[in-house]
Amino acid sequence: MLYLKKYFTEGLIQFTILLSLIGVRVDVDTYLNSQLPPLREIILGPSSAYTQTQFHNLRNTLDGYGIHPKSVDLDHFFAIRRLLNQVRSLDHLRVPSTELNAWLVHRDPETVVTAASQSSPSIALDNGGSLEDVNNPEPSAMRGAGSTSESTYNLSGEDSLGAVAPEANQEQGNRDNVDELSKEDIDLIDILWRQDIDLGAGREVFNYSSRQKDGEADKPNEANEDADVREEDWRNGINLQEGRGIALVDGETGESIPEQLSSLGTQTSMSLQECLRLLEATFPFGEESEFQATEAAPQLRGPAENVPSTSQGLSLPAPLPQSNAPLDLEQQWQDIMAIMELQDMDVNNTAENTNLNNNNLNNTRTESNESGTMTSFGIPQSSLINQDVSLHQASLPSCSQDLPNLFSSELAPSAVQPPTLLRLSSSNSSNINSTFGVTNLTGLFLPPLNSTNNLTSSPVLPDPFVSLLEESMLDEISLLDLAMEEGFSQAQASQLEDELDSDSGLSLDSGHSPVSPSNSETSCSSAASSSSTSATFSEEGAVGYSTDSEVATAEAEEGAVGGYQPEYSKLCRMSYQDPSHFHNLPQLDSINHNHTYNLPLASSYTEQPQLIGSCSKKCRDKHLQQTKIHSPREFIDKQSSRDERRARAMKIPFSNDKIVNLPVEEFNELLSKHHLSEAQLSLIRDIRRRGKNKMAAQNCRKRKLDTIINLEQGVQDLRRDKARLLKEKMECLRCIRQMKQKVQVLYQEVFSQLRDEEGRPYPASEYCLQYSADGSVLVTPRSMTLEQSRKPDKKPKDKKK
């Protein structure tokens, strides 16, 4: 099981990295949940607190749009392709970045105006159409949308495929009657429908609607828990005819890949297709025949007959049989890596192809060059890729360097991954992808999503929003990055990602919060800030630490003082190694606690160290609690300290942090500025007293601990000294003993050689040798020894040796 898990996880990682290279927002969570429940269980475990939906909500809040959590993001890739094809169809027209950006905006059902105003007309209309499709299943509404979409199609050079777009839309509305149509009609409809999807109608929306329509069979499941729902979605995606509910393959395959094939030939979709095939081999879907993409595939396949489309890669029998998949995993990964390297080569060579279209590794260069000239739509791919690259450059390249270090030896395929190919896609996503260990899928794909949103939406949005997005994403990434830089192990990194995930999970609430996405500007900004993984930058409201936009807003409105702990708790572990990394997290200014007894006392009032200690236990606990907490308020309350709750209850207009940490002058000034009741003043002073005493107690305990530690160290030192001295003493005694033995030997030798005047030896019983102070040795009668000791000079016989 673990073996499988490892491979699956790695597979997802690799695949995500691969897709990130081509700018595709990959939502593996969705795959796991909606399409591969067994795999999800394999990877995450049956009881895993999998909060992937929070992911989506993070993303949703980031761009401020209510994307369905079960959205399959893979279609973005194909939407990108379609848009690129549109660009090509414009001949020499360079697509402004805003157009590509608007492509993502289309997902917001309620921001049509914004999208229309900020993007090219075609896209805007496209957006509107998609929105209509999504929200209004009625054919009339969809017809208008479809017509607009069709104009876009015409631009994109998909006329042959999309000429019947309105009908397709209509059919989409009446999908249930599709069985009555001929096979050809079905194919056409299917194609057009997929185009609609790419034009903006998120597949998840169709999933949802299909569930609403066709959910009779699935209704019981919908009432069940989340996992069941996801599993149902998966079933829908697989089984529903015409792929309305198909979450993974249908939409993108039917449309984009065939386009690529028709336009670019075999080179275009190969790498992606191969990757998908590999993915399929890794994650056998097992229900290939039910993928609707097979219906449209023959028609769309075109010249690249031998090169199946992406959908086919998934739907058709894979080159690697499913049964053999586990056995060939290594080879598959090698293939994937080869493909990725090919992409990298392409980028390095001509910087022209984001489509990852090389089937033959040996032909990489030539094909890429050809792709530069093979502009079926009249525009060199280099320009297209430039567009794409420029989009990706909207993200931050800050963490690119860390990538190589982040791969463990376990991830051999990724370890060989050249850094440059990561640059092709957004540096953020790639980096984050790379940073992920094998353990956490949720964390794995959050940053790519996030970054993708940022990439696509930021140019369209006003600057404040852009900055917010970038800031939030930056923070998240930087946190991960920092954690990596700090030498986090992979497990720690994954844990960190979990934390980030959980943060995104917090934003889940915001996603469902009353904050309407309709007022896109404000709500977007707030949502963006809130969804920034760990940072809710509402510092100005003296709150600054709520985990969710709604909460932040509410807190700010109340002037409440907030529960900083949720955020801190996520960050604490991350920051533990180096609190200085949090300089860019303004909300941390409100951190009050300092349980980091090992830190200098002087830093007690600085923001960073204070979040370090307090989170250790709480964070984990609260992280676990998140799933149980239903409302942001409840969450905040649970996270808040008593004083914070009291302050909120009393509507204290500033944070506990300020109350506690402000200097007396500023504190009094603050009090004077507000008209506070006596109860409020009393509470504030109590809060200040308790807060200061709390820190004092912490410092005291720290000192106490330090004292104990120092004493223990002293005791150890003394014991060490004692042992050393004892050893030296023993050594000396041993030396003395040896010297005595030597002296004794010499004595015997000398004494035995002594002779009196008559040549006779001295009897040892009567004479002995005696050493004088000047070094001379005397032969002394033993009877005189005592006397000689008193009068050593009287010895008659003197013999020197």
Contact positions vs DNA (CB under 7 A): 593, 595, 601, 613-614, 616-618, 620-621, 641-643, 663-664, 667, 686, 688-701, 703-704
* DSSP codes joined into one string, 252-300: HHHHHHHHHHHHHGGGTSHHHHHHHHHHHHHS--S-GGG-THHHHHHHH
Indicate the residue among 686 and 749 with the shorter CB distance to DNA.
686
Indicate the residue among 679 and 786 with the shorter CB distance to DNA.
679
Long-range Cβ contacts of 767-773 (<8 Å, 24+ apart): 770/795
The C-alpha angle with vertex 644 and arms to 643 and 645, in degrees rounded to 5, equals: 90
The distance of closest approach from Cβ of residue 616 to DNA in the complex, given in angstroms and rounded to an integer, is 6
Q: Report the distance separating Cα 204 and Cα 201, nearest Å.
A: 8
Indicate the residue among 285 and 568 with the shorter CB distance to DNA.
568
Amino acid, single-letter form, for residue 740: K
The distance of closest approach from Cβ of residue 571 to DNA in the complex, given in angstroms and rounded to an integer, is 16
SS3 542: coil
The distance of closest approach from Cβ of residue 502 to DNA in the complex, given in angstroms and rounded to an integer, is 15
Amino acid, single-letter form, for residue 205: V
Residue in the structure block whose two tokens are 């830093």: 603
Number of Cβ within a 10 Å radius of residue 792:
16
Indicate the residue among 132 and 498 with the shorter CB distance to DNA.
498
The residues, ordered by sequence, that sit 6+ positions from 117 with a Cβ below 8 Å of its Cβ are 124
Indicate the residue among 506 and 615 with the shorter CB distance to DNA.
615
The distance of closest approach from Cβ of residue 687 to DNA in the complex, given in angstroms and rounded to an integer, is 8
The distance of closest approach from Cβ of residue 572 to DNA in the complex, given in angstroms and rounded to an integer, is 11
Closest to 393 in 3D by CA, of 421, 434, 429, 426: 426
Tokens of 499: 């934390």
Closest to 249 in 3D by CA, of 318, 311, 339, 338: 311
The distance of closest approach from Cβ of residue 670 to DNA in the complex, given in angstroms and rounded to an integer, is 12
The distance of closest approach from Cβ of residue 619 to DNA in the complex, given in angstroms and rounded to an integer, is 8
Looking at residue 83, the DSSP 8-state letter turns out to be: H
Indicate the residue among 6 and 690 with the shorter CB distance to DNA.
690
Tokens of 134: 């999504």
The distance of closest approach from Cβ of residue 542 to DNA in the complex, given in angstroms and rounded to an integer, is 19
Closest to 588 in 3D by CA, of 551, 535, 530, 659: 535
Indicate the residue among 700 and 725 with the shorter CB distance to DNA.
700
The distance of closest approach from Cβ of residue 635 to DNA in the complex, given in angstroms and rounded to an integer, is 13
Contact yes or no for 265/323 (Cβ under 8 A): no
Indicate the residue among 524 and 660 with the shorter CB distance to DNA.
660
Residue in the structure block whose two tokens are 């050594």: 731
Give how far the C-alpha of residue 15 lies from the chain's centroid of Cα atoms, to the nearest Å.
16
Indicate the residue among 434 and 639 with the shorter CB distance to DNA.
639
Q: Report the distance separating Cα 83 and Cα 199, nearest Å.
A: 9
The distance of closest approach from Cβ of residue 547 to DNA in the complex, given in angstroms and rounded to an integer, is 17
Amino acid, single-letter form, for residue 632: P
The distance of closest approach from Cβ of residue 177 to DNA in the complex, given in angstroms and rounded to an integer, is 57
Indicate the residue among 597 and 751 with the shorter CB distance to DNA.
597
Indicate the residue among 70 and 573 with the shorter CB distance to DNA.
573
Indicate the residue among 25 and 658 with the shorter CB distance to DNA.
658
The distance of closest approach from Cβ of residue 704 to DNA in the complex, given in angstroms and rounded to an integer, is 6
What phi and psi values does residue 779 have, to the nearest 5 degrees?
-95, 115
Q: How many residues does the chain have?
A: 801
Q: Report the distance separating Cα 561 and Cα 590, nearest Å.
A: 9
Closest to 132 in 3D by CA, of 116, 110, 154: 110
Tokens of 193: 């429908």
Helix then strand count (H, E) for the chain reads: 39, 2
Q: Report the distance separating Cα 661 and Cα 764, nearest Å.
A: 92
Contact yes or no for 343/275 (Cβ under 8 A): no
The distance of closest approach from Cβ of residue 664 to DNA in the complex, given in angstroms and rounded to an integer, is 3
Indicate the residue among 290 and 637 with the shorter CB distance to DNA.
637
Indicate the residue among 292 and 569 with the shorter CB distance to DNA.
569
Indicate the residue among 390 and 627 with the shorter CB distance to DNA.
627
Q: Report the distance separating Cα 480 and Cα 497, nearest Å.
A: 7
Q: Report the distance separating Cα 240 and Cα 293, nearest Å.
A: 12
The distance of closest approach from Cβ of residue 621 to DNA in the complex, given in angstroms and rounded to an integer, is 4
Q: Report the distance separating Cα 729 and Cα 731, nearest Å.
A: 5
The distance of closest approach from Cβ of residue 279 to DNA in the complex, given in angstroms and rounded to an integer, is 39
Alpha helices in 626-674 (DSSP H): 632-639, 642-649, 656-661, 664-673
